[in-house]
Every structure is written in structure tokens, then in C-alpha cells.
Amino acid sequence: MSYLTNDKVPEGKDRQTAKTKARYDRIAPIYDLMEVLPEQQFRSWRETLWAQVPEGRILEVGVGTGKNLPYHPPGIQVVGIDISQRMLQRAQQRAEELGKAVELHQMDAQRLDFPDDSFDAAVATFVFCSVPDAVVGLRELGRVVKPDGQIFLLEHVRINEPEVIGRVMDLLDPIVMRLMGPHINRRTEENVRRAGLEIDRTEALTPLDLVKLIVARPAGNSHE
């Protein structure tokens, strides 16, 4: 059975986080429409990612409107979080339509309200381009995933070669962020390492490495 909780996201402590929440609440009614065309390609990438997710209790960060729900494999228990209540309402509706059992919470990825070692794996698809402090959010994933667990990230990232494209992305990033929400120039692999995670493998899914599938894990055998 799916259900939606109303955990409060602390907005006053982090102005940028509050802006991100407000932005996604605002675009929630048209979000799926905005991504109709790119989603034609995203579907195969989502399927590729979820086929690698092990059985167990899985945290999905940035569940959004529930676009990953059709690809959840059997044998997993999914807990989905998102900062936007309005996005979660749409995910709840989609879960009910698909008959998917998923636990949904409103929560900030930078302040996960779960104990250490709570999950067998974590998944995020096109999320850490929008988390205000990506390193803090990734560090939280390393905390709540078990030491022998994995973290699966499907992300669009800054193009580094040729460098001129990366510089153009840097220039356009503030405009895109204000209009649509995500940053287009995040160096996600670098952020994963800065968060203290170890990268098991990276797979480039597009030319120029614009979209990558990154599989990481908590470093070492403990969260100390």
C-alpha cells in the first residue's frame, strides 16, 4: 500500500533549498509535459539502471512525479523521497494507477531523516543536478546505505571535452537553473568522490559523456 507523509522540510535554515522546493512545487503540474520529448530517451536509461538494483530496501531520492515507478523490479521495497509535496502527490497518484507499493515522504536529500545503514541501495535519476549542495546530499546517501550497499546515479553532467562546450554550459547555467530548476554544469563524479564515496564504475550513455550512469558505494566498512 502506498502512502504519503507530510514531513516538514526545514526551509528557514537554507534559503537555496527553500527556493528549490518552491520551484518544483510551481512546475509540478506541467513537469511531465515539459519532459515529454527527452523522456523518450530517458526511459531506456531508467530501465538499464533499475535492472542493476539488488533486492532489498531501496531509497529513491528525488522520486518526483514517479517516472521510475514502472521500472521498479520485483523483490524490492522502495522508500521514495522528494522535497516537493506537489511532485509527491503526482507520484502517489501514479503509484496507485500502476498498483505499485511505495512509501513516499517529503524530505530534503541534504537532511535525510533515516538512521545510518537503513538501506541496501539508493537510487537517484537526474536529481543531483538540482540538490543545492550536491556533496552534502551524496554524503547523506553514504550514511544511510549499508556499508556493503551501492548507490546508483543517472545524471547529466558538465561536458569537459571539448572544454569550450563546458564553458558555454557554465555561462548558460544560471539562466537554465532559474527557468527550469536543474544545473547543467555539475561535475557529479567529482562530487561523488568529495562526498567520501568510492566509484565502482561509470558508464557514458551519450556522446561527449553528457549523461552518465555512476555506481558508487560507501567508502570503507563503516560511516565513522
Q: Which three cell numbers stand for residue 154?
A: 543517472
Whether the link from the prior residue into 162 is cis, omega within 30° of 0, is yes
Rounded Cα distance between 223 and 21, Å, is 29
pTM of the complete model: 0.88
In three state form, how does the secondary structure of the chain look?
Answer: CCEECCCCCCCCCCHHHHHHHHHHHHHHHHHHHHCHHHHHHHHHHHHHHHCCCCCEEEEEECCCCCCCHHHCCCCEEEEEEECCHHHHHHHHHHHHHHCCCEEEEECCCCCCCCCCCCEEEEEEECCCCCCCCHHHHHHHHHHHEEEEEEEEEEEECCCCCCHHHHHHHHHHHHHHHHHHCCCCCCCHHHHHHHCCEEEEEEEECCHHHCEEEEEEEECCCCCC
- Is residue 103 assigned to a domain? yes
- Is residue 190 assigned to a domain? yes
Q: How far, in Å, are 39, 51, 130, 172 from residue 67 at the CA level?
A: 9, 15, 16, 27
- Is residue 223 assigned to a domain? no
- Is residue 224 assigned to a domain? no
List the domain range (segments joined by +) for residue 122.
3-218
Taking only Cα atoms into account, the Rg of the chain, rounded to an integer number of angstroms, comes to 16
Q: Which three cell numbers stand for residue 195?
A: 562526498
Tens-place pLDDT, residues 118-138: 999 999 999 999 899 999 999
What total of structural domains would you count in the chain? 1
Rounded Cα distance between 174 and 121, Å, is 32
- Is residue 182 assigned to a domain? yes
- Is residue 133 assigned to a domain? yes
Beta bridge partners of 111: none
Q: What is the pLDDT along the chain (224 residues), one digit of tens a residue?
A: 344 544 444 444 578 889 889 888 988 888 888 888 878 889 999 999 999 999 999 999 999 999 999 999 998 999 999 999 999 999 999 999 999 999 999 999 999 999 999 999 999 999 999 899 999 999 999 999 999 999 999 998 888 889 999 899 889 878 887 777 788 888 999 999 999 999 999 999 998 989 999 999 998 644 44
- Is residue 58 assigned to a domain? yes
- Is residue 149 assigned to a domain? yes
CATH number at residue 116: 3.40.50.150
Q: Which three cell numbers stand for residue 218?
A: 560507501
Tens-place pLDDT, residues 4-34: 544 444 444 578 889 889 888 988 888 888 8
pLDDT of residue 62: 96
